[in-house]
Structure 1
Amino acid sequence: MTHRLSRRRALTGGALGLTSLAGCTDRFADEPPPIDVEGSTLLEIASVDGPAPLDAFPLTVTDEYVDAGIDRVDSLLASIPDDLDAKIPNEAVRRYVDRERESAREGLTYVRDASTNLAALRPLRRARESAAHAAGTVAAAVGNRTRADALDEVDALETRVREAAAFERIGEEPIPSLVVYERVEEELRVAALAVERLRTGAIADGYAEARAVGELDERLETGAARLDQAQHLGDRHADGLDDPRSFDDEFREATTTLHDDLADRVADLPERSRTVAEDLFDAPVEETPRRRVGEVLVREIRSTFEHASESREADRFAKVLVDLYRVEILLGALDRIRAIVADGGLDRPDDGSAVRTARADAVAALESGRADAAHPALVDSGLEYAYWRIRNADEQAEDDASYLPEPTAVEMIALYAIATAQARSVPDATDRLVALLT
């Protein structure tokens, strides 16, 4: 399977932040004040129970759908012979198939252990992708499947995706419908992207034919799995309605209002650069959490707004609204961070107690944001970035604390501070979006 950048790494830039914190400044500059912290302390802080998973959603996924996905994986795996040594002389290809097959089996374990069928969707999709990759590689290595055979299936997939995208957003209440259709639109967006990658994405010239076919079959399965998920969620939503009406016009009009309101605020931000934190804050930023906070927030605000604009051009109205909702949360978080820095906050910490406090604040803010929410599924969508920042900071400790404790402490505080500011900005952004749609 191709390596995928996880959502938590994509949201925070992963460990790259430590590079700038740990040694990309002038080599002759004064050393920053030491932080009295050990890696073991950071690991202990990160190991404390975090927030509960964000699992609020307006509908459930059926057992039948999950079972059908498991059957699909089992069918693909069954096409792979047990005696690979006898069937595939090439040891490198055998190892490749074994790795993908094991990934699919591991995925099924996660599916069966998932707390809900909704939570099972991601590992189920990944299991399908890995199984298709392994099966396609074998079909090319021991049979006569070729790249051309795989590419011959793209037209049919593209037609299915295009037909599925021609739907009406219906419901009885706007907010639950918005949350469902945002997910449907995202699944269809990725399905269409899989088709595009099949049309234009080159397979490395050095790939053997078998590996190339496996890669193409994985892309086909990605498109099919995403399409299946979109259709299942859309059907489940429609089947639960007694008196549905269309929300297309309301969602479209709301996207224009919210987009226009936020555009100037986004345009006023400094450009993404190495000096973005200096441009944001009237305070020292070097070797402090302030630098990372400024870089992450400006990057995320701009990129999320760009995604919303792209979705707007593609008439993905629900996705536009949820992305703009997240932009408003991020802008609110930036306002809060600026006020904190103006009061002297987020300076270089003295010891590990600052990390402990920052994490406790982040978890408490996220849990407070969920408590008694009138629209829990929407609120969970708004809190998603905050949730993953906490997770990322925790995993940053696991990855780096033992050999870079001081820059890791700075990084963790930055990510926890962003999560706290985001979570505390969710209620106001939620109230505004709800008022716009009701």
Structure 2
Amino acid sequence: MRARGLVGAALLVACNPVTPPGLVLDVGRTCEDIALVVADPDVLPGWRIHAAAIARSGGAATWLLASEHPGELELRRVPEDIPGVDLTTVGAAHEFTLVRGPSEGQIWLTLDGGDGAQLWRIDEDEAAVSVGPPLGDFPGDGSTEWFYRLVFLGQSPHLLALPRQTKAGEVPLHIAAVTPALALGERWTSSATVTCPPLSELNCPLLWEDLRELAVLDVAEPGSVAGAALLISIASLPDVAPDPESPPAMLQTHIISLTLQRDPATERPVVTRRDHVAWSTDGPVLPSPAQIAADPLGIYVLAGLVPGPEGSSADATPADYLFRADLLGPDTTDEGGVIALLNKDLHSHLLQLGSRVALGQLPKRHWYVAPVEGATVDEDIVGTLEVGEHSSLLRAGRGQVVVVTESAPSRRVQIGCADDAPAEDR
């Protein structure tokens, strides 16, 4: 996998199907080998798992958003040393985000109900689950619905609110500090505005007045970046009553990232917007894959398109795009560029391994992982694990993933360096 090349074939050829032993979870250094080791061969048997988060690096404590029966939803711990939370009457699985905190032993759950939010904090040291009050008064504008996401600036939690409809060129952003009681403290407003080159009035999204649909696609793992990073799509709203005699209207999908950092001079968050790509299609589409990760020097975005629901005739992108942008600080305008094109049949995805980023691929029955260094995916260091067909991956943080496979137990897998593995196993 070289920069700006067609990635995939070389990665598959390079893989040894034997998983080397000697896993070391410290991946804040250059690995000689990547290992994928099954840490739990049967996670919460009989339950459907929606999300997972690891409490401590290398530990066994896993918090799961899961359902034992249709219409039920619980927050469960494995092993069950701390009582869980019944969420059946609180919200649906897709309305929750479950993430590790930047501090070891801390897990956070966020309810995004569209018209309000609510927070839960799990502290392993105190064996306690704290629940905050409903946050329906944030940001105080009932004229639109909002997306709510929890992010961290250093160790401090903050709640973000982004409108579900907005103009393409200027995205309003509301930020509120979260208090120890899981209420909201100091608040700020900001605007993520596109930077247009001179003489670009006709093509500058800042001058477009129509409302478009915004979606929060992904949030970088807490602690992976000095601040927070989000991946967002802004898409044209399809015509609810198209003229059958007219050619289909072209729809646009913008993929942008927002990086939040604290300004040490003013103590307020500063937002940096990067516009990575704008695709035009002849029908509704959905961004997939759509992930963001970071290392100390840059952010990585993996993005592609698939046809939208309800029988959309739009074509998917022929490849998935891996972007990288330098993380230069709050004043940067660097939007980065494409460092690789990935065949969609390889089902590529980004993985956060501590302060490093890796690229995973799941073409059929085997899962492959290779580290990304700068603008290069290292084909010479590849970990592999047989997972079975029709598998999906739930990133659990701290270098761990729950592999969910049809008609097979869910498995928790640790990813890390295997520098101590015997030479014959590498």
TM norm structure 1: 0.21
More strand by share: 2
Larger radius of gyration: 1
TM-score of the two chains, using structure 2 as the length reference: 0.22
